[in-house]
Chains A and B, each alone.
Chain A
Amino acid sequence: MMTSIFDGERVRLVALDPEEGARPYIRWCRDSEYQRLADDDAIRLWELGQEKEFSEKLLESVYLFMIRTRAEDKVIGTLDLHNINWSVGDAWVGIGVGEREYWGRGYGTEAMQLIVRYGFEQLNLRRISLTVFEYNQRAVHSYQKIGFQEEGRMRQWVNREGRRWDLIYMGLLRADWEALNPRIAR
């Protein structure tokens, strides 16, 4: 296969196929920690058909990818750009690595770097936004490596087991990303 802008060293972003993507996703959801890292709604479990239908609908408005490892060709997570505000050039990014054995090993960071580059160099975005829970420091460090800066915190946003945690807002401006990646950016 030819190398594309969606290929990193260890991961590749591919179109989400609801048929193929739903099965690992509902399995990841059984891991409550995975869900609590990813979402602020009350976590719950979905039936296979519901998940397929949901992601099919999502694909109409969201730039949604599956993250595959290049070595094993294994789906390890999902990644998306959503709520794109075209007149401002801003999009929100969301990532979830569901396979635990790939946590903390740089796979997510590499996938994130690919989608950020796609957003800036192909979609002509000016900035990319994200939020992350205060308790997800592994993700915060990953985002910082790419160049995301903290822009503030919504205090005591999420309530987990009787304790409240902040929701951290981070943003990456294209100009800052280009300065950090002179070899990639033109």
Chain B
Amino acid sequence: MIETPLFESRTLRLTEVDLEQDPVIEAAWTQDLDYARWFRQEPPRPLAPFEIKKYYQKLLKPDGEGGAVFHFAVRLKQDERLIGFVRVANIIWNNGVGSIEMAVGDLASRGRCEEEVLTLILKYAFHELNLFRLSLTVPEYDSVLQQACLTSGFVLEVRQRNTFYRHGRYADGMIYGLLYPEWEKQVEGVK
């Protein structure tokens, strides 16, 4: 029903972006190129706070390039500390499909919250955006996010050879997919 809280779970909260404070924190995280890669089309590099802010200003324009992007900052409920972001992007409405993009920048939260973030965004994407299927691309070396995908019911659908390059090595891109009927069955099973 409509009273289900969509923006909070046991320990996390999805919120709007704080354009003044979040970019400062996220800029520090872009020293890690796997966080930085989300903010530029070109090969990644560390970014300054004003670059992150500019990126968000463009992304969050209602009728601009971010029109079909539903972006959230992820915070810890206990102290409202920013730990990363999650969004539904690349939506094609006529097919009811979209992709999830997420990254956890806060080191202390890595490996602890990914599954909870996915639970939140899946509920939002399936119950509010009414999408039929979602996908998520994870580099081969990110075993934490891959495990969270599998636990959340995603199926490995595509393995793109050599589409990532880190630390002098090529890595495959693993694309996970989840259909609404599969998710619904899983959620029903938990109830």
Mark each residue of chain A from 147 to 163: 1 if its CB lies under 8 Å from any CB of chain B, else 0: 00001111111110000
**Number of residues on chain A facing chain B (CB within 8 A):** 24
CB distance from A143 to the nearest CB of B (A): 15
A151 touches B162 (CB 8 A): no
Q: Contacts of A164 on B, CB cut-off 8 Å?
A: 132
DSSP class of A's interface residues: helix, strand, loop or mixed?
strand
Using a CB-CB cutoff of 8 Å, which residues 86-120 of chain B contact chain A? Answer: 92-97
Query: Are B133 and A41 interface neighbours, CB within 8 A?
Result: no
Q: How far is the CA of A178 from the CA of B138 in the complex (A)?
A: 28
In this assembly, does A86 line the interface, its C-beta being within 8 Å of a C-beta of chain B? yes
Known: A40-B92, A88-B170, A159-B94. A154 touches B158 (CB 8 A): yes
Provide the bound-state CA to CA distance between A90 and B93, in Å. 28
Number of chain B residues whose Cβ lies closer than 8 Å to a Cβ of chain A: 26
- The answer to whether B133 touches A152 (Cβ under 8 A) is no
Which chain A residues lie closer than 8 Å to B158 at the CB level? Answer: 151-154, 169
Contact B163 A90 (CB under 8 A): yes
Tell me whether A108 is interfacial, beta carbon within 8 Å: no
B141 on interface, CB distance cutoff 8 Å: no
Of A42, A88, A153, which contacts B164 at CB under 8 A? A88
Does residue A68 face the partner (Cβ distance < 8 Å to B)?
A: no
Within 8 A of A (CB), among B133-180: 133, 135, 155-165, 170, 175, 177, 179
Shortest Cβ distance from residue B46 to the other chain A in the assembled complex, whole angstroms: 15
B43 at the binding interface (Cβ < 8 Å): yes
B187 to nearest A CB, angstroms? 19
Q: Which of A85, A151, A153 has the most CB of B within 10 A?
A: A151
Q: How far is the CA of A158 from the CA of B94 in the complex (A)?
A: 8
Q: Does A88 lie within 8 Å of B132, measured CB to CB?
A: no
Within 8 A of A (CB), among B41-97: 42-43, 92-97
B164 touches A155 (CB 8 A): no
Query: A86 vs B165: C-alpha distance in the bound complex, in angstroms?
Result: 10
Chain B residue, CB-CB nearest to A88: B165
* Distance, CA A169 to CA B177, complexed state (A): 13
When distances are taken between beta carbons in the complex, the residues of chain A under 8 Å from B175 are 152, 154, 169
A171 and B160 form a contact (CB under 8 A): yes
A112, B166: Cα distance in complex, Å: 30
CB distance from A119 to the nearest CB of B (A): 14
Q: In the bound complex, do residue A155 and residue B160 qualify as a contact, i.e. CB atoms below 8 Å apart?
A: no
A155 to B43 CA separation, bound complex (whole angstroms): 30
Contacts of B94 in A (CB 8 A): 41-42, 159
Q: Which residues of A contact B179 (CB under 8 A)?
A: 155-156
Name the interface residues of A136-186: CB closer than 8 Å to any CB of B. 151-159, 164, 169, 171, 173
Inside 8 A of A158's CB, which chain B residues have their CB? Answer: 95
Residues of A with C-beta under 8 A to B159: 151-152
Q: How far is the CB of B90 from chain A (nearest CB, A)?
A: 11
A126 lies within 8 A of B162 (CB): yes
When the two chains form their complex, are residues A154 and B161 in contact, meaning their CB atoms are under 8 A apart?
A: no
State the Cβ distance, B140 to closest chain A Cβ, in Å: 13
Q: Which chain B residue has the least Cβ–Cβ distance from A165? A: B95
Most buried by A among B95, B133, B164: B95
What is the minimal beta-carbon distance from B181 to any residue of chain A, in angstroms?
A: 10
Q: Knowing A86-B43, A154-B177, A155-B177, say if A127 contacts B161 (CB, 8 Å).
A: yes
Find chain A residues with CB under 8 A from B160 CB.
129, 151-152, 169, 171
A154-B157, A154-B177, A157-B133 known; A41+B162 contact, CB < 8 A:
no
